[in-house]
Amino acid sequence: MITEHVAKSARHTTFYLAAGPEDGTPVIFVHGWPELSISWRGQLPVFAGLGFCAIAPDMRGYGRSSTYGAHADYRLEEITADMIELLDHLGAEKAVWIGHDWGAPVVWSLAQHHPDRCLGVANLCVPYLPEAFTPESLKPLVNRDIYPEDRFPVGQWDYFMYYRENFDAACAAFQADPAATVRALFRSGSPDALGQPSRTAAVRANNGWFGGGGAPDLPRDEKVISAADEAAYAASLARNGFFGPDSWYMNGDANAEFASRARDRWRLQMPVHFIHARYDTVCETVVSRLAEPMREWCADLTESIVDSGHWMAQEKPREVNSALAGWLARKLPEVWR
């Protein structure tokens, strides 16, 4: 059974889903853009069944958690504090943290700033960049065989720059039809996309994600989301809007400064697991150099590959669950109860 809960403090409210025994080791799943706690619907009952206390929060700006009106409210320092408050609310000293997309930089930040609250960390798609997940740190790792610098100066990370330069227009395009946006974004991976530039590399040239307007009316990709999932995502995004989710992209300098304060803890000592998505053309980590810093800065790194697109936990839940459970069994056997 998956149950609904709320953790409140003087500074923030976090809605979260929970499954499994309350006295089990917490495994906290952190979603990314533009998702919800339900993004982990394929993981929560499985890890609950393995005896863990499986938790998935709605992140700041999403779902039934607090939303805010300034870009700075969505910097990683604030979001990391939300997660520590959630762990305190659970009455736990430590947890296994698992993130995807923007949830991954949150988990990497927790590992940097609060290693004493981490039994181990695992992330999907977005690898560890100790100096922070920003276009400035990503640009040197771009695969120039696919993204020649004269045509794609920041490679597939061009969409970051579009947010910085055209934030209101970016929000408006997504908000024009949230259901269509969800259907357009949540697509499964394909080997046909390998070796081709991601559409995110030309967002500024195309005047937006969808060529200057709202999302096209595409059929739902049933490999990733059901009708119920689409309705839940769309309702939440229609209610809260995209200001909060999109603001996560607007704090590059603040996030880099936050990471710099943990400079003496950049080398992660706890067990780390990174799962590559073979057909993710934005966070392409199988062929490019994007995962190289992670290999340098993690003392105990395990890597796996799942044949999926970016929405890995939803497209291939069985494979993701197998990889995570195997890593936990090998690297953290003491957390099993």
Q: How far is the C-alpha of 177 from the C-alpha of 214, rounded, in Å?
A: 7
- For 39, the 3-state DSSP assignment is helix
- Give ∠ CA 235-190-134 in degrees, rounded to 5: 65
Catalytic residue among 101, 158, 177, 221, which?
101
Tens-digit pLDDT profile for residues 321-331: 999 999 999 99
pLDDT band at 337 (very low <50, low <70, confident <90, very high): confident
- Alpha-carbon span 181 to 172, nearest angstrom: 11
Task: Return the DSSP state at 293.
Answer: H
Asked whether the CA dihedral 257, 258, 264, 270 is positive or negative, the reply is: negative
Burial label for 286, CB within 10 Å (0-12, 13-18, 19+), is: middle
* 101 assigned to active site: yes
Q: What is the pLDDT of residues 47-100, one digit of tens each?
A: 999 999 999 999 999 999 999 999 999 999 999 999 999 999 999 999 999 999
**Res 279 pLDDT > 90:** yes
Smallest CA-to-CA distance from 244 within 13, 15, 63, 56 is with 63
C-alpha 164 chain-centroid distance? 20
Cα 167 from Cα 182, distance rounded (Å): 19
Q: What pLDDT shows up at residue 212? A: 85
Give me 61's structure tokens.
């700006």
140-153: pLDDT as tens digits: 999 999 999 999 99
Catalytic residue list contains 273: no
List the domains of the chain with CATH numbers: 3-335 (3.40.50.1820)
Per-residue pLDDT tens for 286-299? Answer: 999 999 999 999 99
